[in-house]
Amino acid sequence: MEANGTAPMQTMAKMAEMFGVMTETPVAPRPLALHLAIQNLMFTSSLTALPSLKDGSLVWKDSLDLQARSLRENLKKIDGDAFADALKHEIEKRVSAFAEGVNRFAEAPRPDAMPALPEVWSEGTTELLHAEAAGKPVILIPSLVNRAHILDLDPDHSLVRYLADAGHDTYLVDWDAPGVEEMTFSIDHYVDRLERIRDHVIDTTGETPVIAGYCMGGNLALALTHRAPERIRAMALLATPWDFHALPPSATAMLRAMLPGLKQLIESIGNLPVDVIQAMFSSRDPGNVIRKFRRFAAMKSGGKEANAFILLEDWLNDGVPLAGAVAVECLDDWYVKNTPMTGTWMSGGTPLDPGGLNIPALVVIPDHDTIVPPASAAPLAELLPNVTLIKADAGHIGMVAGSRARTTLYAPLSEWIAAVQ
C-alpha cells in the first residue's frame, strides 16, 4: 500500500480534473459547491481511514466498532495494495458519474412549457391562476419556498388540471419570489393576502371554496381557516407539518445552534437565500443529491425517466428566498420552539387551535416523506374534529408529481372534494 496520505492526494487530484469543466457551469444541483464538498469529504475520509482501519488504530464506538473489527479481519485476507487500488478506482468511477450526471443535466433539452393558466387576480408578486370548470371552487395553496408549478408540472403531473378536468373550478396561488413589498412580510401578511384571494373567489363564484394546502401551504390554509371558518367550505392538508419536534433531536439541536448566525444573515440581507434553504433540506440526507445525479448519468437520454428527472430537478433548483420575518418565524417559532404543536402559534392575534375547526378536513400523509415525516403531520389527523385521513404510498414530492400521483393523491382528493357538501 502507498504511504499514508499519498493515495488520497493523488485521487483527489484526479477528482479535481473530473470537475474542472463542470464547475464552470452555473447549474443545479444547488448549492453545487456544498455537494462537491460533501462528496470529496466522504471519499477523502475513506481513503485516509483505510490504513488506520487495517492496522487497528482506528476505533469506533458500539456497533460501528463491531463492524470495523469485522472489516479489519476481512482486510487481512486480501492484498492490501490491490484493495487500495480498487477503492481508488471505485471512488473515481462514482465521482465521474456524478460529474457526468450534472453536465448532462445542464446540457439536456427542456420540454415545452405547459400552456399558461389565465391570471384572474394579482397583488404584489402574487398571482391567482384559474383552471375553469363548472363545479365548486377549489383553491390550491403551495409552499412559500418552492415554485407553485409543482402542482402544474406537465400534462401527466398536474393536480390543477386533473381537478379541473374532474369538474372542480380550480384556482392556484402562485406566490412567486418576494418583491420589495413582500420582503417585509410576516406569515400573517401572507395570510392577509390569502383572505383577499378567498374573498375574490367567493365574489366571483358566489360559493365558499374548498382550500387545499401543500406542505407549508397547509399551515397557511390552517391559518386562513382559523380566521374565518365560516368562509371556507372544507380544507385539505397535504403533507403538512405540525409537530416540528418529530424530527430527530439532533436536527433540532443543530438548528438551535445555527440560529444566531442565520438570524444575522437574514438581518443583513433581508431574507433567507435559496442556497441556504437548499443546504438545510440537503442536510436531512447529505448523500441523496449525489446518488440522484449518478443515477441520472445512467438513464437513457430523452427517455421518460430522464425527462421526469429533469422536470423535477429544474423545479427543485428554482426555489425562492424566504422573506426575513417569515424565515425567522419558521425556523425559531416552528422548528425550534414548536409553537404549532404547543398551541402557542399566533395567527391573526389569537393562538391557532385545529381542534376548534369543525369544517370537513382531509389530511393526506405520505408514508415515505423525509421532508415532513409522517409523525410531524399525524397530529393534525388527531386534532381536527371532522377529519378524513389518507396515507399515501409516496414521498413528499412523489405524492404530487410522481408516477403514481394520480392514484395516490389526485383521484382520492377529487373524490373527497366531490363528496363535500
Is residue 286 within 8 A of residue 229, CB to CB? The reply is: no
The mean pLDDT of the chain is 88
Scanning the structure block, which residue is given the C-alpha cell 390554509? 221
Q: What φ, ψ does residue 364 adopt, rounded to 5°?
A: -110, 120
Query: Which of residues 35 and 366 earns the better pLDDT score?
Result: 366
Chain segment 257-292, per-residue pLDDT in tens:
999 999 999 999 999 999 999 888 887 788 888 899
How far apart CA 181 and CA 123 sit, in angstroms, is: 10
Every domain range in the chain assigned CATH 3.40.50.1820: 119-246+321-419
Q: What is the pLDDT of residues 67-96, one digit of tens each?
A: 667 766 776 777 667 877 887 888 888 888
Residue 22 confidence (pLDDT) above 80: no
Q: Report the pLDDT value the prediction gives residue 83, as an integer from 0 to 100.
A: 73
pLDDT of residue 251: 87
Q: Which residues pair with 122 in a beta bridge?
A: 127
Greater confidence (67 vs 343) lies with 343
pLDDT at 3 over 90: no
Average pLDDT rounded to a whole number, residues 333-351: 96
DSSP-derived pairing of the beta strands 119-123 and 210-214: unpaired
Query: Average of pLDDT values for 323-339?
Result: 97
Which of 370, 374, 360, 379 is CA-nearest to residue 397? 370
Per-residue pLDDT, averaged over 309-338, amounts to 95
The CATH fold of domain 119-246+321-419? Rossmann fold (3.40.50)
Q: In the predicted model, what is the mean pLDDT of residues 114-132?
A: 97
Longest dimension (CA), the chain: 79
Q: ∠114-112-174 over CA atoms, to 5°?
A: 35
62 by Cβ neighbours in 10 Å (0-12 / 13-18 / 19+) ranks as exposed
